[in-house]
Amino acid sequence: MTNENGQRPLRRGDAAAPRVVVAGLASCFGCQLQITNAEEHLVDVLGQVDLRYWQLASSDPLPEEFDVAVIEGAVTTEEAEQLVRTLRERARTLVAIGACATTAGIPGMAAAGFIERPRQVYEHVPSACGDMIAPRAVSAVVDVDFEVRSCPIDSLDFVSVLQRALYGSNKAIPTRTMCGDCKRNETECFFGKGSLCLGLVTRAGCGARCVSLGRPCNGCRGLSPDANLRSAQEACERYGVPASDLDRALEMFNQTNPALRGSE
Amino acid sequence: MTKTAIRVDHIARVEGHGNVRVVIEDGAVKTVEMNVVEPARLFESMVRGRRFDEVPYIASRICGICSSSHVVTDLLAIERVFGIEPTDRTLALRDLLVYGSYLQNHATHLFVFAAPDFLGMPSVFPLAETDPALFEQALALKALGNELCTKVGGRSVHPITAVVGGFTHEISAGEYLKLAEKMDAAREFATRAVDLFRSFSAPDVEMAGDMLAMVEEGAYPVASSRSARFLDAEAEFDADEAAVRIEEFSVPHSAALFARVRETGRPYFTGALARANASWQHLGQNAKVAAAKAGLRPPERNPFMNNVAQAVEIVDALDRCAALCRRLAEPDSFEGASSPAPFEVRAGRATGFTEAPRGALFHDIALDAEGRVEHASILTPTAQNCASLETDMRALAEKLVSDGAERDDIQLEIEKLVRAYDPCLSCSVH
C-alpha cells in the first residue's frame, strides 16, 4: 500500500515552510533518536521545515493542520490505529520511518499467536495498555508515501528521504536483495561458513553494514520484493543450513508480511 | 469544596508515552498517578522459543537509548548460563559500550529534555539561537557518545558487533587513540555542565524511598559486578536473587509494572543519583572534584540532584573511556582477544545485571538444552522507579500546595520532577 514516489510532493517555491509533525507509536524510540543523531545536519534540516509537533523533543500539542507526518513505530492498539488515520487525513505526505513502521519490525514478532501474549506478561492486563491489537505496519493501516527502512534508520537516509518528501523526486527505490552489496564490499559470505544470513532475501540499501562488521544480516530492511524464497530455501539446504532456520529467522522482521504467509 | 485537577497528557521531553494525573481537593492532594501508556510490545513473550543468539539482538530493541545496556545485560545472562568467562578485553569493550550510552543518554536527557525547563523554553531548539555555543557543545557531547558506540558497537543505536563470547569487529589502535583525544577535549565543557545544572534552582524535596545501585569493592561499577545494594536497607544481594529481593506489581493506570523492595515494601530509586550515593568515593578524580564543588555528596536525596549526578557521570565516563581507549590501543595490554570465544550451549537460568544510564537493569533468562528461551523476565530502571516517582510527586505536590503555589506552577514543577527522574517509558513497558 505504499507509494514510494509520493503523490503530492511539496515544492521549493511554497510560500511557507512545510509544517512537519513527528509521531511515535510502539517502538524503542531509536529512530527518533537517529533523527537527533543527524547532528550537524539537524539544524539544517529543521531550518527547512516548520516543526509543529515532536513529542520527544518539545512540549507543544499535536496541531490540527500540517503538511508532512513522520511516523515511527508499529500499530499495536486501536488508539494508535486511529491516530495513524488522523495523521493520514491531515497530512499531505506521510513518511514511515524504521522497521516497526515499515514492516511491523520486532514488535511484529508478537503478531503470531497474539491473543495469548498479553497474559504471558501481565497477570492482569492494565487498562493503561489500551485496546491491544496484533501489531502491524503503518502501511497495513493507511497509504504511506515515503519510507525510511532499517532498524534503526540511518540518520542520513532520513535526511535524504525527507528532502524527497519536501521537494519531490522520481528517484526509483532499489528493491534488490543484499547479496550484490557484499560482492562489492568483498566481504566473505556467511553461507560459505555454513551460517545463515538473511541478506539473501532482504531489501538492499544499508550497504550490508552488519555483514561488513562480521555479523550476518537479520533482515531488518524487510523482505525484498525481488526475493525468491523457494530458491533461498534451496540455497540454505545446499550450504547445510536447515531451511526451517531461514523461516524462523524471517519472523524477526517479516512476521506480518503477507508474502510469507503459507510459505511455512 | 475546591478541586484542582492537573492532567498532563503525553508528557513531553521524556522517552516514551506517559501522562501525569494529580487531583487536589480542599488543599489536600488526593490522587497522584504516573500513567504510563507506552504500548506494550510484550518482549518477554516474544523471545520465548527464540534461540539464545537472537535474544540480545531482539532485547536491544526494547530501547533506542539504552540499547547497548540491554545487549550487554543479555549477553552476561547467557554467558553465565553457558559458563563462558569473557576476556578482559571483551569486558573493557563492553564497558566502553555502556559508557557510550551514558554519554548519549545523559547529554540528551540533560540538554535536550531537562535544560529547557530551567531556561523557560518549550524545547532545546531556541537555545540554538540564544546560546549557540552551549547548544553546539551539548550536541557535540551527545555526538561523542554516538561516535563511541559506533566505533565499538558498529552504530550509535542497536550495536552490531557485541555477541555471545566477544566482539565480531574491533577498530584499529589509531582509532582508539583518536577517541581518547576527543574524550580529553570534551572534559572542560562537561565539567562546566556540572556547574550549569547545579546553578538551576530546584525545590527542596527529598526522595522518600530507598535507593538501589550496583556495588563493587574499590569501584564505581557499570557492568563489572553482580552485587546490587539497597542503600537504606543496607541489603546486598547477587543479581540472580533480583526476582526474590525485588517485587514487581501491577497497577491499572500503568502499562509498566511497578516495583518495590520486597522485604520492606518501600519504593526505591535507581539511577545516577543512587550510583553516586553508593560509590561516590570511587568516582574518578575530576568527577569527584566536580561533584564536591557542586555540593553533590552522599547522602544526597533531592531527586533534582539526579541531573547533577548525571552531569558528574559524564565527566567520569570521559576520563574512564580515555584511559580504556589508550589501553586498548597498546598491544598486549589486555590478556586475551575480543574475538568471540568458542562455547557449548547448555540449559540453565541466570540473571544478567548492568547499570544502564537510567539505573539497574536485570535480565533473567532460562534456556533449554538447545539454547532456546524458556522464560525471560526483564526488569528495567524506569519500571523500578515509577513507584518512587509517584511517591515523590505526591510529596512535591503537597509541599507546593502548602506553599500556596498556583496550579500552573505545580504542574511545571511536577513535570520537572518527572524529567529529573529521566524516565524511559519505552523501556519500562517493554
Contact A15/B at CB under 8 A: no
C-alpha to C-alpha distance for A249 and A190, rounded to whole angstroms: 15
Chain B, 140 to 169: residues with Cβ < 8 Å from chain A are 142-143, 146, 154-158, 160-161, 163, 168-169
CB pair distance less than 8 Å for A77 and B39: yes
C-alpha to C-alpha distance for B417 and B423, rounded to whole angstroms: 10
The position carrying cell 494508535 is A80
Quick one: closest CA in A to B11, which residue?
A59
Domain CATH number, residue B55: 1.10.645.10
pLDDT of B339 over the 60 cut: yes
The position carrying cell 509541599 is B399
CATH hierarchy code of domain A19-167: 3.40.50.700
Of A27, A58, A152, the CB nearest to B426: A27
A220's grid cell: 531488518
Structural domains of chain B, count: 1
CB pair distance less than 8 Å for A215 and B163: yes
- Are A100 and A72 spatial neighbours (Cβ–Cβ below 8 Å)? yes
Residue B299: is the preceding peptide bond cis (ω within 30°)?
yes
C-alpha to C-alpha distance for B66 and B314, rounded to whole angstroms: 15
Give the residue ranges of DSSP H helices in B235-380: 242-245, 272-279, 285-293, 305-329
The list of chain A residues with pLDDT below 70 reads 1-15, 56-61, 262-264
C-alpha to C-alpha distance for A167 and B88, rounded to whole angstroms: 51
Contact B354/A at CB under 8 A: no
**Selected residue of B14, B42, B131 to mutate for chain A interface (largest A Cβ count, 10 A):** B42
Contact B10/A at CB under 8 A: yes
- Are A135 and A104 spatial neighbours (Cβ–Cβ below 8 Å)? yes
Q: What pLDDT does residue A57 have?
A: 63
Q: What pLDDT does residue A51 have?
A: 85
CA B46 to chain centre: 24
Contact A138/B at CB under 8 A: no
The arrangement of strands across the sheet holding A19-24 comes to: A50-54, A19-24, A68-72, A93-97, A146-148
Q: What is the pLDDT of residues A9-68, one digit of tens each?
A: 444 444 578 999 999 999 999 999 899 888 777 777 778 888 888 876 665 667 889 999
Predicted confidence band at B1 (pLDDT cuts at 50, 70, 90)?
low
Contact B134/A at CB under 8 A: no
CA B298 to chain centre: 19
C-alpha to C-alpha distance for B98 and B88, rounded to whole angstroms: 15
Which of the residue ranges A137-146, B1-10, B69-78, B231-240 would you say has the lowest mean pLDDT? B1-10
Of B45, B160, B257, the CB nearest to A210: B160
CA dihedral angle for residue A198, residue A199, residue A200, residue A204, rounded to 10 degrees:
140
- Give me chain A's average pLDDT, please: 89
Q: What pLDDT does residue A47 have?
A: 80
Question: By C-alpha distance, which of B34, B314, B344 is closest to B191?
Answer: B314
Q: What pLDDT does residue B285 have?
A: 97
C-alpha to C-alpha distance for B244 and B292, rounded to whole angstroms: 36
CB pair distance less than 8 Å for B257 and A30: no
CB pair distance less than 8 Å for B139 and A42: yes
Of A120, A126, A209, the CB nearest to B250: A126
User: What is the pLDDT averaged over residues B124-140?
Assistant: 87
Q: What pLDDT does residue A262 have?
A: 52
Q: Helix (H, G, I), strand (E, B), or coil: what is residue B297? A: coil
Chain A, 195 to 214: residues with Cβ < 8 Å from chain B are 209-210, 213-214
pLDDT of B386 over the 90 cut: yes
Q: What pLDDT does residue B57 have?
A: 97
Chain B, 310 to 329: residues with Cβ < 8 Å from chain A are none
Q: Helix (H, G, I), strand (E, B), or coil: what is residue A27? A: coil
* Cβ within 8 Å of residue A45, ≥6 positions away: A38, A159, A162
CB pair distance less than 8 Å for A24 and B58: no
- Are B386 and B258 spatial neighbours (Cβ–Cβ below 8 Å)? yes
Q: What pLDDT does residue A263 have?
A: 44
B44's grid cell: 518477554
Question: By C-alpha distance, which of A32, A29, A30 is closest to A42?
Answer: A32
Quick one: closest CA in B to A212, which residue?
B169
A164's grid cell: 524527497
Q: What is the pLDDT of residues B305-333, one digit of tens each?
A: 999 999 999 999 999 999 999 999 999 89
Q: Are strands B246-249 and B235-238 parallel, antiparallel or unpaired?
A: unpaired
Q: What is the pLDDT of residues B283-303, one digit of tens each?
A: 999 999 999 999 999 999 999
Contact A189/B at CB under 8 A: no
CB pair distance less than 8 Å for B155 and A218: no
Question: By C-alpha distance, which of B266, B240, B238, B237 is closest to B385?
Answer: B266
CB pair distance less than 8 Å for A57 and B255: no
Quick one: closest CA in B to A123, which residue?
B250
Of B44, B46, B154, the CB nearest to A213: B154
Residue B275 domain boundaries: 5-428
User: What is the pLDDT averaged over residues B71-82?
Assistant: 98
C-alpha to C-alpha distance for B291 and B283, rounded to whole angstroms: 9
Its pTM stands at 0.94
Q: What is the pLDDT of residues B142-182, one digit of tens each?
A: 999 999 999 999 999 999 999 999 999 999 999 999 999 99
Question: How far does the CA of residue B299 sit from the closest CA of chain A (Å)?
Answer: 32
Question: By C-alpha distance, which of B378, B322, B335, B317 is closest to B86?
Answer: B335
**Selected residue of B61, B123, B136, B425 to mutate for chain A interface (largest A Cβ count, 10 A):** B61
CB pair distance less than 8 Å for B250 and A46: no
Residues of A in contact with B154 (CB under 8 A): 209-210, 213, 215
CB pair distance less than 8 Å for A110 and B45: yes
Q: What pLDDT does residue A59 have?
A: 58
Q: Could you tell me where in chain A the CATH 3.40.50.700 domains are found?
A: 19-167
